[in-house]
Amino acid sequence: MKCVELNPEGNFDNWEPCKIEELAKMDDVEANPDHIIFEDERVALSVIVLEPYERTPFRKINNDFSLSCLTGGLLISRFSHGGISLLKFEKGETSFHSVEGLKTIRDFQNVSEDVFVMALLEYKP
């Protein structure tokens, strides 16, 4: 995975107001079971399928996780701290992400012209 920072942490000037409002409502949400296809006491596996330019709502990820790309493509990911990143995945590529004891809140938006499919595997403590 290649990652390019599009917007630095702490800068919400370039954010659309509707996305800031969506983030503000995240305190009311505890989990994001919307894409989970398997879960046990050790892991939760989600499969996310995004049509071209489709976006997921913001989701909380409480533990370390990996992303495995099944198709390849480009994503934009917005973070609750204001950062925005462009992520380029090759088909079959996997990346590991540590939340270092803190939760992460982010979204994913497919900016490719093709369907984007990825698996998100969250490791429970």
For residue range 5-58, list pLDDT tens digits in order: 999 999 999 999 999 999 888 765 555 556 889 999 999 999 999 999 999 999
Q: So what's the pLDDT on residue 76?
A: 97
Q: So what's the pLDDT on residue 100?
A: 82
Longest dimension (CA), the chain: 40
Please provide the CATH number assigned to the domain covering 2-123.
Answer: 2.60.120.10
Average pLDDT over residues 87-106: 90
Among 21-30, 64-73, 96-105, top mean pLDDT goes to 64-73
- Give the least confident one: 55-59, 92-96, 112-116: 55-59
